[in-house]
Structure 1
Amino acid sequence: MEEKANGGKAVADGQKEEIPPYVIELFFEKKPDLNKDSLLEALKKYTSNPEIDTFSETEKTVLSAGDSGNPSKRIKINIEQRSFDREGLLEYASSFRQSWNWRTAKETIQNCNMIIRISDEYSAKIPYNLRVDLLRNILRAIVEKIGCSAVHFQMTQQFTKPENYVYSFCDPSPDKLFGFINVRFFKIHDSDDMVMDTLGLNALGLNDVQCSFKRYNPKDISNILYNTAYYLFDSGNIIIDGDTVQGLKRTDKWVCKKETSLVAPKRKVIDIAPGLYK
């Protein structure tokens, strides 16, 4: 797979990156039945103090959830509907390529004619981990109540089946970042070089992770990137230049350094250097 490296807007050293609204899209083969009372009922099941500030079956719905007495623990969500047809498929080309858990997503999406776009009005006061928790549970309530054919995580360039998203909450091993982290794979044209990176942490104000390599198994590199990404989510941006992560063996110590991403979107990432290149 060939991708253009170093695309997107540059980020200067020391400059704080702007954190965008978090966008998730639900795809439908027919117009969903979006009812105010049933939506509020579903939100009450998984969130605290939900309120629907504005409701519309055809235009924008605005809702909020979380601690009503503390703005740093409450999130506001916009829900908008728009039509969709096959002419819009090209917009999702990268997501089709990087949806590793649903390789045939395009076959479903090309039969859809409606999208519900869910986005938050980001507030820097909300801790990133609480933001994800609120978004996850609001999305769960909506998916379970009105159903859909597919869930698209725009910020991580991946589609997932709605039933898989709901299952990610289930024991014995719930995945708190399902959909919110993606590990992408790129084969550099006319070379043996490969690049893998995470996409999703940057949208939360954290550093994504990348690794360029030649002879390693991409599945092994993927596991290292996932583990590092979850560590960063749990601990914050605590990895600094010269720190190490465990490689393929328990004794491997692969060196980390903050770099500009090799693949768009351009952003600051933690670059992990495999032992081969130390």
Structure 2
Amino acid sequence: MAEAEPAGFAQTYGVEILYETPLAIDGEELLRAVRVRRPAAQPLGDLGAGGGEVKTLGFVHPDHAVELSGAVIRPQTFLLATDAPLRLTAMMEDHLGQSWSFPDARQAFARRRSSALLTDMMTGSLDYQARIEIFEDVLAAVLQVAPALAIHWWPAGRFVDPAIWLEAYREGGADRLFAGAMNVRFYKISDSPGDMLMDTLGLAALGVRDLQCHFRDLDPSEVATLLANTGCYLFDEGDLIADGHTIEGLTPGSRWMCRHEDSILNPARIVLNVDPGPPHTAAGRADRDQGGGG
């Protein structure tokens, strides 16, 4: 099995926020909105004197400082606005196709005229739950001050409806995770009729294991629920499911075998594969496993 992905403090996490008009935000107004959720937040650089609008804004969060190699690291969040709209790339096309909770994603994307990148820095050494909480608190503040068309949540390979995400943000818990940071993707295997592949995407970007399931003759919506719920468990508890352990399947008394392995789908990462067993193991996977692959 491949080694776990490295987790250095310089790694960043981010989303792209899409707008119908060029974006410029009043820095002081955004700081006030951030401090409603993160009272200790401090501005980095110019907020726009006298209520002026700026294109780049930064905040530091000293209440979550960590010590690393003798230095104190203070997590930071940056918003960088641009008048250039996102280009429609092959990756964007795939993300639009996997945006199950946002049926109007393509229409929103077509209306884009500008975007803003919200990203963090100096956060890789933070506890992942604290890290995403800080990030989402700042995102909620940005959306309050500057309502948007869509969020391109690229670590999760999806586009998100800002109104739906804000509602889930207020609900908290699993709803918040399901609405943004974790996506369940679905693909049919073209060269193996009947085989289907589902995985979660987004957890690995936070240092948590994503999951995958290669199956046939099962209801994809039920498999999606199982993967989402298991992903939520891993987010809450950590990577506690060891190779050879089982989880409850879709029918009472069924047990699905788990094993860490290389992901079938990009991006390349180590995932927790969940195998439903015969007769629902995908033919392609059964053939591969019998041949010693994986």
TM score, norm. by length of structure 1: 0.88
Superimposed CA distance per residue, residues 184-223 of structure 1 (whole angstroms, 9 cap, x where no aligned partner): 0011113221100000110011110000001001001001
Partner residue in 2 for 1:189: 190
Percent identity of the aligned residues?
27
Partner residue in 1 for 2:36: 45
1:46-61 paired onto structure 2 within 5 Å:
46-55=37-46, 57=53, 59-61=55-57
Give the direction of change, closer, same or farther, for the CA distance of 1:31–1:166 in structure 2 (3 Å limit).
Answer: same
Query: For the Cα contact (< 8 Å) 1:53–1:63, is it kept in 2?
Result: yes
Query: For the Cα contact (< 8 Å) 1:49–1:68, is it kept in 2?
Result: no
Query: For the Cα contact (< 8 Å) 2:65–2:75, is it kept in 1?
Result: no
1:1-278 paired onto structure 2 within 5 Å:
13-18=2-7, 20-55=11-46, 57=53, 59-65=55-61, 67=63, 75-85=75-85, 88-90=87-89, 91-171=91-171, 175-177=175-177, 178-190=179-191, 191-276=193-278, 277=281
Query: For the Cα contact (< 8 Å) 2:244–2:258, is it kept in 1?
Result: yes
Give the direction of change, closer, same or farther, for the CA distance of 1:100–1:122 in structure 2 (3 Å limit).
Answer: farther
Q: Distance in 2 between matches of 1:232 and 1:68?
A: 23
Query: For the Cα contact (< 8 Å) 1:67–1:73, is it kept in 2?
Result: no
Shift of 1:58: 5.2
Give the direction of change, closer, same or farther, for the CA distance of 1:176–1:264 in structure 2 (3 Å limit).
Answer: same
Shift of 1:114: 0.5
Superimposed CA distance per residue, residues 5-27 of structure 1 (whole angstroms, 9 cap, x where no aligned partner): xxxxxxx7235434641111110
Q: Distance in 1 between matches of 2:241 and 2:25?
A: 44
Q: Could you say what the CA RMSD is over the residues aligned between the two structures, in angstroms?
A: 2.2
Query: For the Cα contact (< 8 Å) 1:54–1:60, is it kept in 2?
Result: no
Q: Distance in 2 between matches of 1:64 and 1:205?
A: 22
Query: For the Cα contact (< 8 Å) 1:22–1:122, is it kept in 2?
Result: no
Shift of 1:67: 0.5
Give the direction of change, closer, same or farther, for the CA distance of 1:172–1:270 in structure 2 (3 Å limit).
Answer: closer
Q: Distance in 1 between matches of 2:33 and 2:244?
A: 47
SS across alignment from 2:198: strand
Q: Relative CO higher for 1 or 2, CA cutoff 8 Å, sep ≥ 6?
A: 1
Give the direction of change, closer, same or farther, for the CA distance of 1:172–1:269 in structure 2 (3 Å limit).
Answer: closer
SS across alignment from 2:175: coil
Q: Across the two proteins, how many residue pairs are aligned to each other?
A: 266
Segments ≥4 residues shifted beyond 4 Å: 56-59, 68-74, 171-174
Shift of 1:37: 0.9
SS across alignment from 2:92: helix
Give the direction of change, closer, same or farther, for the CA distance of 1:136–1:253 in structure 2 (3 Å limit).
Answer: same
Partner residue in 2 for 1:5: none
Give the direction of change, closer, same or farther, for the CA distance of 1:204–1:35 in structure 2 (3 Å limit).
Answer: same
